């Protein structure tokens, strides 16, 4: 491997070695200009590892299980080492500046797999997004020798993976990026939750079959349409319980439920206590509004 700029910081902390802590392996910022830069995920010897790599400038390539992807500015990839992938630089490009983090799979494999499943092995992500901003802070800390023990390193690994989760969830909540039928359905439910009675009503509003609509809505928002409708109703229920003395039957009618007993059942499932207990419980007295996100 040959490149002009190579700032890579490795970590091996004995205070957390062979324990249940997360294991930070390396973080780096490289500017690659030579075609000799090539990594093969099946032959390298430093695994097992998880690698998150992001393109800051220029262009590189990754091939995953026979499929080739171009890695331009604002794109990146997540891979396991070892696995069937190779990433490389072609000299006909001017440069490839990358930012990356590597850590052991210890105790974080399930979370990593969920993130990859949600975001994708190859992805686009704004440089101003929370994971990339946090990764830049990790690199800056490493460059200043501020990562001095395994406990801090463990916290960094966990927080970085949580930033990936947060980014994925935030993207689902950003209505401006939702497909038009999903955004229209959400607005319709928010305006008409008191009178909606079935999934078919919502799907008909956006001219989709209920099966396709449910899959699209879940993929986009993380909720099924009925879960989203229930979320709207529970948020309003919190407000009514705190700000009014309406009976359970009256609140149920206001929310669009057929009976007070059914409202009580749903509220308990979502909030963890009955609406009556919530109204009386002093430990919840400060909750005039509750966002269920």
Residue ranges of domains in the chain: 5-173, 177-284
Q: What is the CATH number of domain 5-173?
A: 2.60.120.280
Residues 6+ apart with CB under 8 A from 283: none
Residue 58: predicted pLDDT: 92
The full length of the chain comes to: 293
Residue 126: predicted pLDDT: 87
Residue 18, class by beta-carbon neighbours within 10 Å (0-12 exposed, 13-18 middle, 19+ buried)?
Answer: exposed
Residue 16: predicted pLDDT: 86
Residue 205: predicted pLDDT: 93
| Helix %, strand %, coil % of the chain (to 5) | 45, 20, 35
| Short-list 72, 115, 76, CA closest to 96 | 72
* Ranges of residues in the chain whose predicted pLDDT is under 70: 1-5, 35, 171-174, 281-293
Residue 279: predicted pLDDT: 84
Residue 173: predicted pLDDT: 64
Fold for 177-284, please state it: Arc Repressor Mutant, subunit A (1.10.10)
Q: Which contiguous run of DSSP H or E holds residue 293?
A: none
User: pTM for this structure?
Assistant: 0.62
């Amino acid at each position: 491997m040959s490149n002009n700029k190579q700032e890579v910081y490795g970590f091996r902390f004995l205070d957390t070695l062979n324990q249940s802590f997360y294991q930070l392996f390396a973080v780096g910022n490289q500017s690659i200009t030579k075609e000799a830069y090539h990594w093969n995920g099946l032959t390298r010897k430093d695994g097992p590892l998880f690698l998150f790599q992001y393109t800051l400038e220029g262009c590189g390539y990754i091939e995953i299980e026979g499929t080739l992807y171009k890695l331009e500015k604002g794109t990146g990839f997540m891979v396991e080492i070892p696995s069937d992938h190779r990433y490389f630089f072609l000299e006909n490009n001017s440069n490839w500046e990358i930012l990356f983090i590597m850590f052991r799979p210890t105790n974080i494999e399930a979370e990593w797999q969920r993130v990859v499943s949600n975001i994708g092995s190859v992805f686009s992500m704004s440089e101003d997004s929370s994971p990339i901003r946090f990764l830049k802070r990790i690199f800056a800390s490493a460059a200043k020798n501020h990562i001095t023990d395994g406990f801090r390193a463990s916290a960094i690994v966990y927080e970085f993976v949580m930033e990936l989760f947060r980014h994925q969830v935030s993207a689902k909540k950003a209505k401006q990026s939702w497909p038009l039928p999903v955004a229209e359905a959400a607005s319709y439910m928010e305006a008409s939750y008191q009178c909606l009675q079935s999934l078919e009503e919502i799907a008909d509003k956006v001219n989709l079959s209920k099966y396709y609509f449910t899959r699209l809505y879940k993929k986009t928002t993380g909720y099924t349409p009925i879960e989203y409708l229930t979320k709207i109703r529970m948020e309003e229920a919190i407000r009514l319980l705190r700000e009014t003395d309406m009976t359970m039957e009256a609140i149920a009618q206001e929310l669009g439920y057929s009976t007070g007993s059914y409202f009580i059942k749903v509220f308990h499932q979502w909030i963890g206590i009955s609406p009556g207990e919530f109204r009386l419980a002093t430990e919840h007295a400060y909750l005039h509004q509750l966002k269920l996100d």
